[in-house]
């Protein structure tokens, strides 16, 4: 179940089934070396029938916290004390100890916002309308994030209308279910388009969409394999600002690392290049060598980031 362990001050892990595909060890162990910390991040391949035992005894397994991914993100809510974010999204991807209590949150919300703030600054200034494609866990995190940034109307479009309608009911009057045939019309007045579906992912068909829109539209895609999806390529050809899924993956890791190890890491071009190379190679994560740096200085909270 576990990787070979070395003696460290603290350790965290990714809980998944299977776990071999995760890039989280590459990201967190890069930061551990960069900030000269005697910590380690490991993979834990935990089958569903063993999840409850593993999570409820996480500390006894040697961990101060963990990330959680498919297929466990919904089930860990009942095994921990979730915060508002995790309850609203209906899934948790980060566990940590607060005294003897195991708490959980959803860092995808923060990662989505931080990535947009970094690569498309001002994207939410006066944003009246956003269009979200999909109605799964990613869509729930995105909708929650957009509502926190006071977006007035969030249109949710899904090929199964009932799922979009369920999200509209869950999140309230500012979230509106719409049909796929309404997409082009809604994009004409939208300031943000977010794809949370698997369309455009490696092995999946491209997203069938007509980007007839304002020049100010920002296009975000949660898919990060390939790095540039057909949707993002189309948007860039039209001169639109874009945010890719890899940026969200990197930024969502920041909060977890800080909670576990006490240092707020930076998402740097060097880290992005490292993960890009690994994705392109499609190979197991190689050992990483990062330039040593002093611990990151305390940073001011970004404007209106009530999710930090």
Contact in structure between 76 and 51 (CB atoms under 8 Å): yes
Point out which residues pair with 65 in neighbouring strands.
Answer: 12, 96
Tokens of 156: 């949710």
SS3 285: coil
Single out the catalytic residue among 34, 73, 238, 264: 73
Pairing state between β 94-98 and 65-68? antiparallel
Closest CA relative to residue 143, chosen from 88, 190, 104, 198: 88
Contact in structure between 196 and 89 (CB atoms under 8 Å): no
User: What Cα–Cα distance (Å) separates residue 70 from each residue in 45, 93, 184, 197?
Assistant: 11, 9, 32, 15
In degrees rounded to 5, what are phi and psi of residue 42? -125, 170
Q: How many CB atoms lie within 10 A of CB 209?
A: 22
Output the furthest CA–CA distance in the chain (Å, rounded): 58
- In angstroms, rounded to a whole number, what is the distance separating the alpha carbons of residues 245 and 225? 8
| Residue 34: active-site member | no
Contact in structure between 107 and 124 (CB atoms under 8 Å): no
What are the helix (H) ranges across 149-268?
Answer: 161-171, 183-187, 230-237, 245-261
Residues with a catalytic annotation lie at: 73
């Amino acid at each position: 179940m576990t990787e070979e362990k070395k003696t460290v001050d603290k350790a965290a892990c990714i809980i998944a089934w299977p776990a071999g595909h995760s890039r989280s060890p590459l990201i967190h162990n890069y930061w551990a070396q960069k900030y000269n910390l005697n910590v380690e991040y490991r993979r834990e391949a935990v089958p569903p029938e063993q999840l409850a035992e593993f999570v409820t005894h996480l500390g006894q397994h040697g961990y101060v916290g963990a990330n959680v991914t498919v297929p466990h993100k919904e089930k860990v809510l009942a095994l921990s004390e979730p915060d508002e974010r995790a309850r609203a999204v209906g899934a948790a991807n980060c566990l940590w100890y607060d005294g003897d209590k195991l708490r959980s949150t959803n860092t995808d919300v923060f990662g989505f916002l931080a990535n947009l703030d970094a690569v498309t600054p001002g994207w939410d200034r006066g944003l009246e309308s956003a269009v979200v494609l999909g109605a799964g866990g990613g869509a729930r995190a995105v909708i929650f994030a957009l509502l926190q940034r006071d977006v007035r109307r969030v249109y949710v479009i899904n090929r199964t209308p009932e799922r979009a309608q369920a999200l509209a009911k869950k999140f309230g009057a500012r979230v509106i279910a719409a049909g796929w045939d309404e997409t082009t019309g809604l994009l004409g007045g939208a300031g943000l388009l977010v794809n949370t579906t698997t369309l455009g992912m490696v092995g999946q068909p491209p997203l069938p969409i007509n980007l007839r829109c304002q020049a100010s539209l920002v296009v975000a895609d949660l898919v990060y394999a390939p790095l540039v999806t057909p949707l993002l390529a189309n948007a860039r050809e039209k001169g639109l600002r874009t945010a890719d899924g890899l940026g969200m993956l990197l930024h969502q890791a920041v909060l977890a690392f800080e909670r576990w190890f006490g240092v707020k890491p930076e998402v740097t071009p060097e880290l992005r290049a490292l993960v890009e190379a690994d994705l392109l190679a499609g190979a197991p994560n190689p050992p990483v060598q990062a330039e040593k740096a002093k611990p990151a200085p305390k940073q001011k909270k970004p404007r209106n980031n009530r999710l930090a």
